[in-house]
A and B are shown apart, each in its own frame.
Chain A
Amino acid sequence: MSSASSVSISKNKSKGRRRGPRKSLSVWIVLAIVVVALILLLGLPVFKLLQAGFSAQGRVAIKQSFTTDIDTFVHSIVLGLLVGVFGTFIGFVCAWVQTFVKFPGKKVLHWVTLLPTISPPFAAATAIITLFGKRGIITNGLLHLETNIYGLPGLLMVLTMTFTPVAYLNIKGMFENLDPSLFEAASSLGSSPWHTLIHVTIPMVLPAMLSSFLVLFVEGIADLANPLVIGGDYRVLASQIYFAVAGSGDVATAAGISLVLLLPALTVFLIQKYWTDKKSVVTVTGKPTGAIKPVKSPTVVVPMMLVSLLWLLLVATIYLTLLVGGFVKILGVDNTWTWEHFDFIQRLGSDAVATTLLMTLVAAPLAALLALAIAWLVVRHLPRFGGVLDLWGMLGVAVPGTVLGLGFALVYSQPITVFGVDILPPLAGGLAVGGGAIAIVMVFIARGDPTGQQSFIAAFKQINPEVEEAAVSLGADPLTTVRKVTLPLMSSAVVTAVTYAITKSMTTITAIIFITTPQTKVMTSQILDEVDAGRFGNAFAYSSLLIVLVLIILGISNLLLRQLNRSKG
Chain B
Amino acid sequence: MKSTMSEESTTKGTVAGALTLRNISKVYPGKKGDFTAVQGTSLDIAPGTFVTLLGPSGCGKTTTLRMIAGFEQPTDGDILVDGKSILDVTADKRPMSMVFQSYALFPHLTVSGNVEFGLKLKKMSKAECKQRADAALKMMGIEEYADRYPNQLSGGQQQRVALARALVMEPKIILFDEPLSNLDARLRVKMRGEIRQLQQKLGITAIFVTHDQSEALTMADVIVVMSAGKVEQVGTPWEIYHRPVNKFVASFLGTDNFLKGKVAQVVSHNEKDDSYLLDTDLGQLSVRGVSGLTVGQPVSILIRAENLTVHDQSVGAHLEIPATIASSAFDGEAVHYELDSKVGHLTGSAPGVSTPLHNNDSVVCAVDEEGLWAVPESAGAED
> From A13, which residue of chain B is reached at the shortest CB distance?
B23
Q: Select which of B22, B71, B150 is within 8 A of A14 by beta carbon.
A: B22
The answer to whether B7 touches A475 (Cβ under 8 A) is: no
- A1 CA to B91 CA in the complex, in Å? 29
For the complex, is B353 an interface residue (Cβ under 8 Å from A)? no
> From A5, which residue of chain B is reached at the shortest CB distance?
B9
The answer to whether B20 touches A10 (Cβ under 8 A) is: yes
Contact A4/B42 with A9-B3, A21-B91, A288-B107 known, Cβ cut-off 8 Å: no
Stretch of A322-330, A480-488, A518-526 lying at the B interface: A480-488
For the complex, is A19 an interface residue (Cβ under 8 Å from B)? yes
The answer to whether A467 touches B104 (Cβ under 8 A) is: yes
Type the 1/0 row for B68-95, where 1 means its CB is closer than 8 Å to any CB of A.
Answer: 0111111111100000000111111100
Interface core residue of A284, A469, A477 (most chain B CB under 10 Å): A469
A127 CB, nearest partner CB in chain B, Å: 42
Total chain A interface residues with beta-carbon distance under 8 A:
52
- A11 CA to B6 CA in the complex, in Å? 14
Q: Which of A13-51 contact B (CB under 8 A)?
A: 13-24
The answer to whether B91 touches A466 (Cβ under 8 A) is: no
Point out the residues of chain B lying under 8 angstroms from A288, CB to CB.
Answer: 105, 107, 149-151, 158
Point out the residues of chain B lying under 8 angstroms from A16, CB to CB.
Answer: 76
Total chain B interface residues with beta-carbon distance under 8 A:
77
The answer to whether A4 touches B103 (Cβ under 8 A) is: no
Q: Select which of A12, A289, A473, A475 is within 8 A of B122 by beta carbon.
A: A475
For the complex, is B1 an interface residue (Cβ under 8 Å from A)? yes
The answer to whether A7 touches B9 (Cβ under 8 A) is: yes
The answer to whether B3 touches A476 (Cβ under 8 A) is: no
Q: Select which of A21, A289, A466 is within 8 A of B104 by beta carbon.
A: A466
Point out the residues of chain B lying under 8 angstroms from A286, CB to CB.
Answer: 100, 102-105, 107
Q: Which of A470-517 contact B (CB under 8 A)?
A: 470-478, 480-481, 484-485, 488-489
Point out the residues of chain B lying under 8 angstroms from A477, CB to CB.
Answer: 90, 92
> From A284, which residue of chain B is reached at the shortest CB distance?
B107
> From A26, which residue of chain B is reached at the shortest CB distance?
B90
Q: Which of B1-40 contact A (CB under 8 A)?
A: 1, 3-11, 20, 22-23, 29
The answer to whether A8 touches B96 (Cβ under 8 A) is: no
The answer to whether B73 touches A20 (Cβ under 8 A) is: yes
A25 CB, nearest partner CB in chain B, Å: 9
Point out the residues of chain B lying under 8 angstroms from A10, CB to CB.
Answer: 10, 20, 22, 42-44
Report 19 cross-chain contacts, Cβ distance below 8 Å, ordered by A residue. A1-B221, A3-B221, A5-B6, A7-B44, A7-B234, A8-B4, A9-B44, A14-B78, A21-B90, A21-B91, A22-B90, A287-B158, A466-B104, A467-B107, A469-B98, A474-B92, A474-B117, A475-B92, A476-B118
The 6 A-B pairs of least Cβ separation, nearest first, read: A474-B118, A288-B151, A3-B221, A470-B104, A8-B5, A6-B46
A20-B73, A467-B106 known, 18 other contacts, Cβ within 8 Å: A3-B220, A4-B222, A6-B9, A6-B221, A7-B49, A8-B6, A9-B231, A10-B22, A13-B22, A22-B70, A287-B103, A287-B182, A464-B102, A469-B98, A471-B117, A473-B69, A473-B91, A473-B166
Q: Name B residues whose Cβ lies closer than 8 Å to a Cβ of A.
A: 1, 3-11, 20, 22-23, 29, 42-46, 48-49, 51, 69-78, 87-93, 96-98, 100-110, 113, 117-118, 121-122, 149-151, 158, 162, 165-166, 169, 175, 182, 220-222, 224, 231, 234-236, 239
